Amino acid sequence: MRSTWRDRDRDFQEELPGGETTRNLLLKTLRKTRPETKPNPGLDPIKDDPEYCRLQQILDCDEVYPGIYIGDAETAKNKKYLEMLGITHLLNCAEGNRFGFVNTGANYYKDITIKYIGLPLADLFTTDISKYFYTAADFIDEAISTGGKAFVHCMVGMSRSATCVLAYLMIKKEMLAVDAITTVRKNRYIEPNNGFLQQLAHLDNQLRRQRLRTQKH
């Protein structure tokens, strides 16, 4: 069983070159990185077709890293579009039937070939999203490492889903938090809440210390 970021952070107290990663540093990175405006992936924006025009208006999806897409709840429910994109793995970071959650579940996708995982995360400062960092990273990595594609979503695709994708890039691709945020934010407007940014900063410090220990040994 993996510990929380609070427990992990206590295990590593080595001084970090350049100092600790802080929430304010990550917030500044978000603010200075401007997303590029792009059409929804998989659709031809100049195609003269009423269905394409309708889809462009109702879908909200961006490829933020090769094979990884972040989108909103309505796009996650559009199974035809997911199939068009070639999505093999779907991560719902807001699973539930309350306000602010997306009540789909594995049964919703049982008629198409998509592997599903749902995380019952509220978009609140106090939510401990860190306990799912490695679960999310492993699931996304399974998609990418097998030549598949991962679609990660919450309600609007800005906070919960973005945080899980950032954790994947940090854990599996060994990106620093600043570089992960820059990579994703260039491709989509993301805005993890302050609590999530704090937990990403702790994850960054923990991973950096792990790498220092590995180098020393």
Residues forming the active site: 154
Cα 145 to chain centroid, rounded: 17
Work out the number of other CB atoms within 10 angstroms of the CB of residue 26.
Answer: 23
Q: Which of 76, 159, 170, 158 is nearest to 114 (CA)?
A: 76
Cβ atoms of 181 and 97 closer than 8 Å = no
How far is residue 158 from each of residues 3, 17, 78, 174, measured CA to CA in Å?
26, 31, 18, 22
